[in-house]
Amino acid sequence: MPQLSIVIVNYNVKHFLEQVLLSVDAARQQLDIEVWVVDNNSVDESMEMVEEKFPWVKTILNKENVGFSRANNQAIEESTSPYVLLLNPDTVLQEDTLTKCVEYMDQQPEVGGLGVRMIDGKGKFLPESKRGLPTPKAAFYKMTGLASVFPRSKEFGRYHMKYLPEFETNEVDVLAGAFMMLRKETLDKIGLLDEQFFMYGEDIDLSYRITLGGYKNVYYPETTIIHYKGESTKKRSVNYVKVFYNAMVLFAKKHYPSKRAGQFAFWIQLAIYFRAFLAVFFRGIQQFWLPLAEFLLIYFGYFGIAKYWELYHKFVPNFYPLEYYLLHIPVYVLVAQLAVFISGGYDKPYRSKRIFRGAVVGSLLLYATYAFLPKDLQFSRAILALGSAWAVGGLMLFRTFLAKTGVAPLVWTAPMGKRIAVVASPKELKRIGALLDGSEVNHQLLVSVSPGNDRLESSVGSFTQLPEVVEIYNIDVIIFSAKEVRASDIIQMMSELSEEEVELKIAPDKGEFIIGSNSKNEPGELFTLDVKYALSERYNKRRKRIFDVIFSVLLLMGLIFPFLYLNKKLRQLFGQLFSVLAGNKTWVSYEGLNTSELLPKLRSGVVYSSGPWTNSKFEGDVNHVYAKEYTVSRDVYILWEFLKGRHPND
């Protein structure tokens, strides 16, 4: 009979699953364990990967997404070990994690559930490693922010129990479902996971029932694991707040007296609306403060120029009517800002080139349009010219000021490649370098750090000197070779570097990817084909949509000249223009079905992206080429080839 059964629920996270299984494989050498992967109907070929690379893993294949609780229960019911570990696929274990936890559980028969210290992909401690019960008070303190203001208070900080030391073993109320080691005897007594909880809250419910059953939940920081995703960005959304805290209402109705549960539900609903309001409010401020500030900047510049012109050139106070200040000048400013917006001047990272180009184009557009206005609306070419010059100069000065003060960093030159340190031997460095090159990860510096304590001839330092290497070479990214560096050493080094502004990645042994994430607030990421896709930028997505609309309008205008539609291809395009205008389609899209999770998403296209430009590093893969090298002129060219009858989907 195995000593431990590990249950991993998978749903379309192939690369994370491979990495956690590699770490489990390294950690299982001193134990007799069985590993179950329960798949909730994934479509990313993750189970084919498990079958090929990990034949010792037992699998359960569901034909639908049955949820986290049900999937875990399926494997637990089949397991025969005295202990069960519920483990997330986006985790990495130390080599001694399983041994230490099993030994502790053997020595402490009163412990029904065990959790460990977790860090995110940047080495920072995850507070959900130890939590208190979501009582009405605790939930209220968390959602109102009082828990953050007074984290060490036993009263206000009870949700994440921050008053308990990070490196001290303690009894806690709630364990995290990402790593939850359970005594099978306890589960036989209290029951399995409650399947009413589809995604959230099941770990809280199970932890509470463990204590009701007379057992303890223990936070055990003698070993540390990486939990890449932690509380991902999706969890900061209004929808997550609603789903998660509705699970808390379900928990309250199940375990609290009806009157108390009703009060809890009331406060939860109130908190949901409060959080939703705050989310919308702060999102609005975040999105609109810069355009609003620049509107005021340009407007008052125009206003000052107009007043100066009245007094010192017209010599007539209030020469220009009120409508000029309340209507015409605001329109001038909005046109200039619209041009900056279309140019990508409000997209992060802020680039000086886009801001300058947008301001200049907006000014030229204003001046060109001004000539076609009726004479009674042409108040002053001089003010328009001076105001346009102010718009360009004022915007650049303002953005420079914001950059100098650190409020809104500004990129003046083309982005430089990342400075990467690879902790590996020369042979592994060559393999990882090939992965980076194949993925076209832009790097200006690639240095080698010895995986051991002795510095190799080809390296700039040893593993213990990694912090100094980061500082001296100003490293942006560290990639650890999992083949040559123990997970425990990686995790320890990640903790040491947690205060540094450096990304930390792991290259699994024989894997074709590099994986990691920057913090608990960012989902995990891959360097597998981590190409800098032009179509990933909002700037280019916006330009593509604008082109779709403009081309559709031109097709509509062609109705004035019906003879144009003698062209069969033009008639074919005309039949699709309303779908494109409605945003259901785009004029040019990927060839065939876009099955790659790595490509930027596009709507289905009228014409597909084949063409003579496929002769590149992605030769034959026209979709990657199109996404990577996208420009509006490429769409124009493709449509032109289509109309001439020289396009592959003829």
Quick one: average pLDDT of 452-466? 88
pLDDT, residue 256, reads 66
In a domain? residue 278: no
Q: Is the dihedral of CA 237, 241, 244, 246 positive or negative?
A: negative
Do 77 and 169 belong together in one domain? Answer: yes
What does the alpha-carbon distance between residue 644 and residue 161 come to, in Å, rounded to a whole number?
69
pLDDT above 90: residue 132: no
What does the alpha-carbon distance between residue 88 and residue 513 come to, in Å, rounded to a whole number?
19
In a domain? residue 291: yes
CA angle 91, 94, 97 (to 5 degrees): 100
pLDDT, residue 263, reads 66
Beta-carbon count within 10 A of 304 CB: 13
pLDDT, residue 233, reads 37
Number of domains in the chain: 4
CA angle 565, 570, 575 (to 5 degrees): 100
What does the alpha-carbon distance between residue 455 and residue 385 come to, in Å, rounded to a whole number?
64
Higher pLDDT, 257 or 603: 603
Taking Cα atoms as reference points, which of 64, 59, 72 lies closest to residue 197? 72
In a domain? residue 576: yes
Beta-strand relationship, 216-227 and 170-172: antiparallel
In a domain? residue 83: yes
E strand or H helix at 116? strand 111-119
Out of 411, 427, 442, pick the residue that ends a domain: 411
pLDDT, residue 246, reads 64
pLDDT above 50: residue 234: no
Residue 126 · residue 166 · CB < 8 Å: no
Structural domain for 391, as ranges: 285-411
Do 601 and 454 belong together in one domain? Answer: no
Residue 468 · residue 496 · CB < 8 Å: no
For 73-87, 249-263, 571-585, which range has the lowest pLDDT when averaged over its residues? 249-263
For 12-26, 484-498, 594-608, which range has the lowest pLDDT when averaged over its residues? 594-608
Do 402 and 470 belong together in one domain? Answer: no
- Amino acid found at 73: N
pLDDT above 60: residue 588: yes
Beta-carbon count within 10 A of 376 CB: 6
Do 136 and 196 belong together in one domain? Answer: yes
Do 43 and 181 belong together in one domain? Answer: yes
Quick one: average pLDDT of 578-605? 80
Residue 434 belongs to domain with CATH number? 3.40.50
Do 597 and 448 belong together in one domain? Answer: no
Do 30 and 171 belong together in one domain? Answer: yes
In a domain? residue 257: no
Helix axes 538-557, 329-342, angle to 10 degrees: 110
pLDDT, residue 650, reads 56
Taking Cα atoms as reference points, which of 70, 335, 115 lies closest to residue 225? 115
For 311-320, 343-352, 591-600, which range has the lowest pLDDT when averaged over its residues? 591-600
Out of 229, 251, 276, pick the residue that ends a domain: 229
The pLDDT > 70 percentage for the chain reads 81
Residue 53 · residue 59 · CB < 8 Å: no
Higher pLDDT, 411 or 580: 580
Asked whether the bond before 648 is cis by omega within 30 degrees of 0, the reply is: no
Q: Residue 613 — pLDDT band, cuts 50, 70, 90? A: very low
Q: Residue 74 — pLDDT band, cuts 50, 70, 90? A: very high
Q: What is the DSSP letter of 512?
A: S
pLDDT, residue 84, reads 96
Do 463 and 388 belong together in one domain? Answer: no
Out of 526, 558, 585, pick the residue that ends a domain: 526
pLDDT, residue 243, reads 61
Do 360 and 430 belong together in one domain? Answer: no
Residue 205 · residue 249 · CB < 8 Å: no
- Joined tokens for residue 114: 């065990």
In a domain? residue 252: no
Secondary structure of residue 207 in the 3-state scheme: helix
Residue 208 belongs to domain with CATH number? 3.90.550.10
In a domain? residue 611: yes
Do 337 and 451 belong together in one domain? Answer: no
- Amino acid found at 647: H
Higher pLDDT, 456 or 82: 82
In a domain? residue 650: no
Q: What is the DSSP letter of 562?
A: G
Higher pLDDT, 562 or 639: 639
Quick one: average pLDDT of 344-367? 90
Quick one: average pLDDT of 93-118? 95
pLDDT above 70: residue 563: no
pLDDT above 90: residue 409: no
pLDDT, residue 399, reads 94
Do 446 and 491 belong together in one domain? Answer: yes
Side-chain half-sphere CA neighbours of 66 within 13 A: 18
Do 485 and 504 belong together in one domain? Answer: yes
Side-chain half-sphere CA neighbours of 506 within 13 A: 35
Higher pLDDT, 274 or 322: 322
pLDDT in tens, 371-404: 888 888 888 989 999 999 999 999 999 999 999 8
Q: Residue 36 — pLDDT band, cuts 50, 70, 90? A: very high
